[in-house]
Copies of this chain bind each other. A is one copy, B any other.
């Protein structure tokens, strides 16, 4: 991975420290948002100085981007592994539900995305373009699957792929928010599955 002169042990140490900082940043941003989540709090969680954080990530914005990129990369890898060799359609919707099920195991990340997605609606927010693009991508993915299902004659009558794609992504955002308030009462995965099942005539 590195062609530098750092010894093997030192490289592993750096990677470990970067990973600790990313985890701490995810927790702090989830709790306070990006604007109000401080480098000081992140550094304190890791037990290093702010300068130590900046040595590894350059700036607070770089750190936020690294947190989001890491998470996206993990999600993409899982999604690709689960849909490998399968055509767009029901397999992709199933992999989408599986991804949401994985996320429920990490409530901190759901809170992070919920808080940042709302905070970043402000046009000047550093993550504004990221979230605008993320919505485009998610809706496009759902749309492609639903169009394929329509071609396979597997959509229920009256389902319009464009509307269904937008509202599937919307329903997930909204259910996760309800779940953050009432984790004991809201079954995000179950409700999402039911919503998808109401769109398609093949068992999910």
Contacts and interface: CB of A to CB of B under 8 A. Distances in A.
Interface of A: 31-33, 35-36, 111, 114-115, 117-119, 121-122, 128, 131-132, 135, 139, 158-160, 163, 166-167, 169-175, 177-178, 180-182, 186, 191, 194-195, 198
The 9 closest A-B pairs by CB, nearest first: A170-B174, A118-B118, A173-B174, A121-B180, A36-B36, A132-B181, A114-B118, A174-B174, A115-B118
A180 B31 CA distance: 22
A181 B121 contact: yes
A135 B128 CA distance: 26
Contact of A115 (B119, B128, B180): B119
B181 A131 contact: yes
A186 B173 contact: no
Contacts of A198: 158-159, 198
A166 B191 contact: yes
Nearest to A180: B121
A13 to B, nearest CB: 33
Contact of A177 (B167, B173, B191): B173
A117 B89 CA distance: 33
B166 A170 contact: no
Given A118-B177, A169-B174, A170-B175, 11 more contacts: A33-B36, A35-B36, A115-B118, A117-B118, A121-B177, A135-B182, A159-B198, A167-B171, A170-B170, A170-B172, A170-B178
